[in-house]
Amino acid sequence: MFMGYVDGNVFSRYDSDTRMAVPRADWVKGAVDPQFWERNTQIGKSNQQNNRVSLDILRGRYNQSGSECGLGQAPWGKRAPP
């Protein structure tokens, strides 16, 4: 899952179960073109696959069981000028 924030408020979300990026705020639904959601869905799918591969590598290097890892976070995006 990844989430997009503006001023501390969630405006979009990628769900790894549905494998789709969706709007989470009413104002964003009509503010961006439909391709925005398709691009973010593709980015989410790619990140999901890359994270899965990275976790598999880490499990192998640290001799961990197949249990799931807890949480990973990374900031992404651009800060708007004042």
- Answer whether residue 18 is part of any domain: yes
Q: For residue 54, what are the contacts with CB-CB under 8 A and spacing of at least 6? A: none
- Answer whether residue 47 is part of any domain: yes
pLDDT, residue 72, reads: 58
Using CA atoms, how far apart are residues 6 and 8, in angstroms rounded to an integer?
5
pTM score, whole prediction: 0.65
pLDDT means per 10 residues in the chain (82 residues)?
87 92 90 90 93 88 64 56 51
Containing structural domain, residue 42: 2-61
40 burial via Cβ count (<10 Å: 0-12, 13-18, 19+): buried
Q: Is residue 12 a contact partner of residue 40, using CB atoms and an 8 Å limit? A: yes
Number of domains in the chain: 1
